[in-house]
Amino acid sequence: MRQTLTLGRLFDIRVGVHVSWLAVYAFMTLALARGLGMLPPPEAYVLGAMCALALFASVVAHELAHALVARRFGVRTDAITLFLFGGVATLEEEPRSPKADAVIALAGPALSALLALVALALVAAADRFVGHGPIRDALGALGTYVVVANAVLAVFNLIPAYPMDGGRVLRALLWRRMRDRAAATRIASRVGIGFALLLVAAGVLVVAATHDLVYGWYVVLGAFLLRQGWSQERAAAASAGALNADIRAAA
């Protein structure tokens, strides 16, 4: 991606942040700090920034799981980039089998679910062993945020809307049944387009009903997924067309 700031490398994979994510980070820090009324403003903003960083780390861990499992299947990852709508691990090539496609896709949600369980256990331990007071409340708020953030990452990404993780699992199942990756990609992309349209419509209806522009985020997210779905569908159609042309030429 253009306008990306490189933060470093993990397991020889470049990790970067698109400038659009910096705006999300600032917004989340302010929003979270306002919800921490049990703390004075300076501490609330510090904890809000820590929660936003926890989300950053959670998304990186999610994408790193994809990348490391992909490496086990012989697929290298060029970079992990955080941007406005989350994160993406840029694979150098497509997985070579339906099994690899499905396992790579499931690795991210699986790790996010595991992190949510670990954070939940730590919150329970802090609640039991840390004395009452603002410190315990702050630790509980941070831990709870990590639990919720990773649970949402796990569940939302499993929605079967390509190119999300669940959509890639759907593509892998279709690919295995049809023995045609391009055709499976087209079908999975169309399912993703349908979900994106529903998300946009739901966002518009909720904004109209509540007059709260915060729900406009769902419209923006749906529009992004719609664009991605159309892009993937066109790419699959072009790939299938090129293959058919090659077959005709060989004949």
- Which tokens sit at 129? 């062993």
How do residues 112-129 score in pLDDT, each as one tens digit? 999 999 999 988 887 777
- The secondary structure of 116-140 as a DSSP string is HHHHHHHHHHHHHHSPSSHHHHHHH
Peptide bond into 163 cis (omega under 30): yes
Of 63, 92, 93, 233, the active-site residue reads: 63
Q: What percent of the chain stands above pLDDT 90?
A: 32
Token duo for residue 30:
């302010």
pLDDT category at 64 given cuts 50, 70, 90 is very high
Comparing 11-20, 60-69, 124-133, 142-151, the range with the smallest average pLDDT is 124-133
* Average pLDDT score, the chain: 83
- Coil, strand, or helix at residue 171? helix
pLDDT of residue 250: 37
| Percentage of the chain modeled with pLDDT above 70 | 86
Confidence at 89, pLDDT banded by 50, 70, 90:
confident
Question: Are the C-beta atoms of 67 and 4 separated by less than 8 Å?
Answer: no
Cα 182 to Cα 164: distance, rounded to the nearest angstrom: 17
Rounded to 5 degrees, what angle do the CA atoms 123, 128, 130 make? Answer: 85
63 is catalytic: yes
Q: Which tokens hold the place of 193?
A: 């387009």
State residue 243's pLDDT score: 40
